[in-house]
Homo-oligomer: A and B are copies of this chain.
Amino acid sequence: MLINRTRDVRDALFHLRRVENTSIQSQVREMLVSAILEGQIPADEALPSSRKLARTLGVSRNTIVIAYQGLVDDGYLTARERSGFYVNGDIREGNRPLSVPKEFSDGLTPRWEDLFRIHPSRQQNIQKPLQWQSYPYPFIYGQVDQELFPIAEWRECSRQALGKKGMDAWTSDTHGSDDALLVEQIRTRLLPRRGIRATDDEVLVTLGAQNALYLLASLLITENTTVAMEEPGYPDVRNTFLLKTKRVIPIPVDDHGLVVDHRLDQCGYVYVTPSHQFPTTATMPLERRRALLERSISGDFLIIEDDYEFETNYVSEPTPALKSLDTAGRVLYVGSLSKTLFPGLRLGYMVGPRALIKEARALRRLMLRHPPNNNQRTVAMFLALGHHETMVHRLHRAYRERWQAMGEALNRHLPDSSRAPTFGGTSFWVRGPEGQDATELAARAIQKGVLIEPGRINFMANDAPNNYFRLGFSSIPTDRIEPGIRILANLIRG
């Protein structure tokens, strides 16, 4: 009974691998496709009957029947009458692994470390646990709260965006162009909220705000350029500037955001996050905005405005964007859809003068062509159907509630810690007791299921304080806030 033994062995190859969150139907298909492509099923031998395989896998027979039929349709299997299903030899053509040299010869391999012209991996940057969802008290920043995301609406927009009739809109390589519907939505729905008017050729869609900043840095900054950076400030932007120039100057931040004085005059570009300064969340008041704009003329510098979390003001109306107050054409504006949609999407935009957008578009073409068209179209639909607006309101309500709970819990459990007055954002920036090392605190907190972000990484100065940390609240339910802060306070008191 050799055949039966072979079959038994082979049948053991059929096991369902749980690809996360896929249907049983998909799992069965994936298993069969793997076995076929990897050559585990001889071409001259019938596959197990649907009845038998269903029993082996513990699924319904109908599932197997559908899977077999789909694989016949797609050319993986052929059906032979009265004999069963067989692997179609054609499908494995080109799938025979070619011979591969095993080891590289010594001495011939390049010394890669000597060849890199830049070393971005040596830069310090924020590290976050990717599995933050598994911690009970994730005071982390910048991730989506899945309970607040309108997944049904998003899926419906995605479905409509992937329509057969509009296929060219999402399948074609459109070179430098953006989805016209998305640009229209940005111009007419998003920018007016910030007081900004722009024409189509003053807007560029980018792969998130980070990509917009990288494009600007590549266009405008070389080793002779001096750039003003908020201190503390956003490490990813500082690292981007530092790839281009060593002349990055830290400028202090106070309760009103970036300090505006003579130190800016030595700079060609000033990077600023006026809506909610990163990481302190301070909002720059109107007077300081005006002072910064006036100084940009007298000091002859340009402003890169990262208009970060403008939606989240809980006690008053949002302050107008710098760009909307700019009478001298000196502000380059960067916006993001990642905060209100979801960060994994990577979609943002920049607004600037036509000449600059033209260059940025040409550079983007070389860097990545364009943000994926299917996502551009889905977001355009999401905006056009008003879902984004609804979501911003929903987030606003949820975040305000958490912001209040955070304030109360910090007042109660950490009355000695200091924090700037905040009006919004999605995090608190906390100064722990003198001598407290927040990195060490974070390591102890994680043992108790509490995730916090040490603040040291946001400073550029070597002698920066170690006792700051950030507590994000965009991903933690309100009822976990007080218990989490209590645990943290106990750890601080030691």
Contacts and interface: CB of A to CB of B under 8 A. Distances in A.
Interface string A144-182: 101001010011001110111111111111110100010
Nearest to A301: B110
Contacts of A390: 74-76
Interface stretch (A54-62, A367-375, A412-420): A367-375
Interface stretch (A88-96, A426-434, A446-454): A88-96
B208 A368 contact: yes
Contact of A112 (B121, B126, B356): B356
A269 B280 CA distance: 45
A343 B384 contact: no
Nearest to A239: B366
A381 interface: yes
A222 B244 CA distance: 12
A37 interface: yes
State which size class the interface on A falls in: 35 or more
Given A207-B207, A372-B375, A104 B33 contact: no
Interface in A108-131: 108-110, 112-113, 115-121, 123, 125-126, 128, 130
B144 A210 contact: no
Interface stretch (A3-11, A18-26, A399-407, A435-443): A18-26
A485 to B, nearest CB: 24
A219 interface: yes
A63 to B, nearest CB: 14
A143 interface: yes
Interface stretch (A45-53, A78-86, A191-199, A456-464): A191-199
Contacts of A177: 130
Interface in A354-377: 355-356, 358-359, 361-363, 365-375
A40 interface: no
Interface stretch (A259-267, A271-279, A318-326): A318-326
Interface in A212-226: 214, 218-222, 225
Contacts of A126: 175
Contacts of A168: 133, 146
A136 to B, nearest CB: 16
Point out which of A123, A146, A172 has the most chain B C-beta atoms below 10 A from its C-beta. A172
Interface stretch (A248-256, A327-335, A476-484): A327-335
Number of copies: 2
B324 A355 contact: no
A201 interface: no
Contact of A214 (B133, B170, B328, B368): B368
A289 interface: no
A202 interface: no
B327 A105 contact: yes
Contacts of A494: none
B239 A385 contact: no
Given A144-B171, A326-B101, A367 B19 contact: no
Given A207-B368, A343-B173, A367-B214, A359 B116 contact: yes
Given A74-B390, A346-B369, A372-B346, A165 B330 contact: no
Nearest to A32: B386
Nearest to A126: B175
Contacts of A123: 362
Contacts of A347: 372
Given A76-B390, A98-B320, A172-B144, A330 B207 contact: no
A23 B165 CA distance: 12
Point out which of A75, A172, A174, A366 has the most chain B C-beta atoms below 10 A from its C-beta. A366
Smallest CB-CB A-B distances: 6 pairs = A98-B195, A173-B343, A33-B386, A108-B328, A344-B373, A120-B362
Given A19-B381, A30-B386, 5 more contacts: A22-B381, A112-B356, A116-B220, A117-B225, A173-B338
